Amino acid sequence: MTSEELTKFFAACNAEQRVVFSTMLLTGMRKGELKNLTWNDINFQLGIIFIQVKKGWNPKTDERIIPISLVLNRILTKLYENRQNDQWVFANQYGNRLSHLLDRLKGICRKAGIREATLHSLRHSFGAHLRMLV
């Protein structure tokens, strides 16, 4: 997604959607990594997210560490303070893991008037925009 598309995309998000998709964009996480992210995976003191194997879920790649940027730290801290679930970082109103992310993303794209994207396109956008900083 281009910078212009991302601007339109996030303008069309509600607060909850903005947190979810900002986290994907700021970390380069895959869908499964985001859906299976627990509060135990986040170490605020060290400023890292640890992607690790869990019962019933194996990441597509080796376990890894993702640094938490200042912007992401603010997002996650606020989310933690107002958490709806003590296990899942991204829980639905019933306390279960968040689901239907692709449907949500496509709906936001339509609302924003931009071409339809995939969850993986946010991962690619993370990499592309990171390369522009180097």
Between β-strands 64-67 and 48-51, what pairing exists: parallel, antiparallel or unpaired? antiparallel
DSSP 56: T
Q: What residue segments make up the domains of the chain, in order of their start?
A: 3-133
Q: How many CA atoms lie within 13 A of 43 on its CB side?
A: 10
What is the pTM (predicted TM-score) of this model?
Answer: 0.87
- Banded pLDDT at 13 (limits 50, 70, 90): very high
Spatial contact of 19 and 75, defined as CB atoms under 8 Å apart: yes
pLDDT tens per residue, range 23-61: 999 998 988 999 999 999 999 999 999 999 888 777 777
Q: Is the pLDDT of residue 134 over 60?
A: no
Look up the CATH architecture of domain 3-133: Orthogonal Bundle (1.10)
Q: How far is it, in rounded angstroms, from Cα 112 to Cα 129? A: 20
pLDDT grade for 127, boundaries at 50, 70 and 90: low
Angle between helical axes of 70-81 and 15-27 (0-180°, round to 10): 140
User: With 50 as the cut, is the pLDDT of residue 131 above it?
Assistant: no
